[in-house]
Structure 1
Amino acid sequence: MTLLWIVLFTLLGGAASAGAAGALLLVPDRLRERLLPSLVSYAVGAMLAAAFLGLLPEAFEYPGTTPQQVTGVLLGGILLFFVLEKFVLWRHCHTDACAAHGSHAPLATARPWRAAGTLVLVGDSVHNLIDGVLIAAAFLTDTRLGVLTALAIVAHEIPQEIGDVAVLVHSGYSRGKAMLFNLLTNLPTLIGGVVAYFALETLHGALPYVLTLAAASFIYIAVADLIPDLHRRPEPAATLAQVLLIGAGIGTIVLSHLALEHWLH
């Protein structure tokens, strides 16, 4: 029965968060184009807050880990995603023959947005895998705790996935592909939940390091891919709007964590 609860709530949670994010794709094209810069700013705040206020604190507090271990994995993770982005860019250049421009190619040509979209999918998949593990752990403790944890995770994921869909569309994905890939990134939630049910003790030992890798991916995406794009609009009015929207993304994640603590207690 516990396994059934885990499967049900990991599927429902993923469908709910992906559905809410996919609603962005139903917005008319012209309106969506006007909303995208705002949603990218929002995504920066949500990703940084999820990394620094959610994932990393959990990794630091995990029994048996040291700050040096966590920060070492964080540093290695950032380097890993740098190499991954280089590989994505290299493949993109070979496909579009942009390598012929050499090292003096314009930044917009040499660094396509599709790399950011790919990294979002990787980071979101890892994050959702961990969500599945957390849901399973809660259900193995108490069914009521599992339900509340699943609901809180959905509330936490919706604003972040809205930002992720914005990044995917801005990266050049069609509406259909953005919705499909965003939905597929929620499958690791189910996988993490089922695997954790059968091998929770083994997964617990690796949990803080997987959390740290997920944090590294979100930090790298926000700092290396999204923020430079925001700097293309340096005028005061646009900058103020960006700061407010980044703050809104951070605030949403903070409120979701407070709701989680309230629901669990």
Structure 2
Amino acid sequence: MVERMVSLSVGILLSTSLLHALPEAFESDADPHALFATLLGGLLGFFLLEKMAILRHSHHYEGDGHGHEHGHDAHEAGKAGWMILVGDGLHNFTDGILIAAAFLADPGLGLITALAIVAHEIPQEIGDFIVLLNAGFSRTRAYVYNMLCSLMAVLGGIIGYAALDRATNLIPFVLVFASSGFIYIAVSDLMPQMQRRATLRETIPQVVLIAVGVLTVLFLTGQTHGH
């Protein structure tokens, strides 16, 4: 199920950013050079944020042969669990702002952006839940904390809507920044996961699901613009 969601997410994320969010931003009155600079800054920024997360996370597990004292890796996993929660909360808060900006630009784009974020968040939240369990959280605590982190998106949406409604000139830049995140996630994170399964039998469903993601976005766009 998670593997299928990853393939579907690639199609939705790329088509949302390349076919809708970026055109919407560049059709505005904003300076194209400034928008491209925002796109470049977003891609590099996500790269650096991921590097920081990789450097600060421990990937050991108890008894992996690294020679630490007993309990060291469990302690490190516990710290990583709390870092996951903080990072996920901030990420969801940002997602809320991005959805608000998309809805302010165009209700149809807002719907598609929300779909893209949900499609990506499902496999990510499942992964986070597993990390929290490995970090020593009970199932109930892991579920409750994940839900609280998810609610940060609602807070981000409310604040983003209130702020951007008074500063509409910033909306194109937020859309470009969101697109840089979608593109980076799809190309740097999700596609490499799919490349690990390189047989024809595994590749065909991946390609089909990517196409389904793209067609879903195109269908929703046609429906929202049709009304």
TM-score grouping bracket, smaller chain normalisation:
0.7 to 0.9
Could you tell me which residue of structure 2 aligns to residue 32 of structure 1? Answer: none
For residues 119 and 45 of structure 1, what CA distance do their matches in structure 2 show?
25
Could you tell me which residue of structure 1 aligns to residue 72 of structure 2? Answer: none
Is it true that 1:131 corresponds to 2:99 in the alignment? yes
Any idea what SS the aligned residue of 1:186 has? helix
In the TM superposition, structure 1's runs of 4+ consecutive aligned residues that sit over 6 Å from their partners are 94-98, 115-121
For residues 19 and 84 of structure 2, what CA distance do their matches in structure 1 show?
22
Counterpart pick for 1:56 among 8, 22, 31: 22
Q: Name the one with the larger helix percent.
A: 1
Q: Which moved more, 1:243-252 or 1:176-185?
A: 176-185
User: For this pair of structures, how many residues does the alignment match?
Assistant: 201
Q: Is the 8 A contact 1:136 1:194 kept in 2?
A: no
Q: Deviations over 1:168-204 (max 9, x none)?
A: 213535554444323322321111222344xx2xx22
1:41-80 to 2 correspondences below 5 Å: 41-66=7-32, 68-80=33-45
For residues 155 and 228 of structure 1, what CA distance do their matches in structure 2 show?
24
Any idea what SS the aligned residue of 1:48 has? helix
- Relative to structure 1, is the Cα distance of residues 123 and 168 closer, same or farther in structure 2, using a 3 angstrom cutoff? same
Give 2:120's aligned amino acid. Answer: G
1:244-255 to 2 correspondences below 5 Å: 244-255=208-219
Is it true that 1:258 corresponds to 2:222 in the alignment? yes
For residues 116 and 232 of structure 1, what CA distance do their matches in structure 2 show?
24
Could you tell me which residue of structure 2 aligns to residue 181 of structure 1? Answer: 149
Q: Deviations over 1:104-160 (max 9, x none)?
A: xxxxxxxx9xx999988766543431432454678xxxxxxxxxx3x8744652464
- Relative to structure 1, is the Cα distance of residues 256 and 40 closer, same or farther in structure 2, using a 3 angstrom cutoff? same
Q: Is the 8 A contact 1:41 1:245 kept in 2?
A: yes
Any idea what SS the aligned residue of 2:57 has? helix
Give RMSD over aligned pairs.
3.5
- Relative to structure 1, is the Cα distance of residues 122 and 242 closer, same or farther in structure 2, using a 3 angstrom cutoff? farther
- Unmatched 5+ stretches in structure 2: 67-79, 133-141
For residues 42 and 260 of structure 1, what CA distance do their matches in structure 2 show?
21
- Relative to structure 1, is the Cα distance of residues 168 and 118 closer, same or farther in structure 2, using a 3 angstrom cutoff? farther
Q: Deviations over 1:11-32 (max 9, x none)?
A: xxxxxxxxxxxxxxxxxxxxxx
Identity of aligned residues (%): 27
TM-score, normalised to structure 2's length? 0.73
Counterpart pick for 2:177 among 213, 223, 235: 213
For residues 25 and 61 of structure 2, what CA distance do their matches in structure 1 show?
40
TM-score, normalised to structure 1's length? 0.64
- Unmatched 5+ stretches in structure 1: 1-34, 101-111, 139-148
Give 1:167's aligned amino acid. Answer: Q
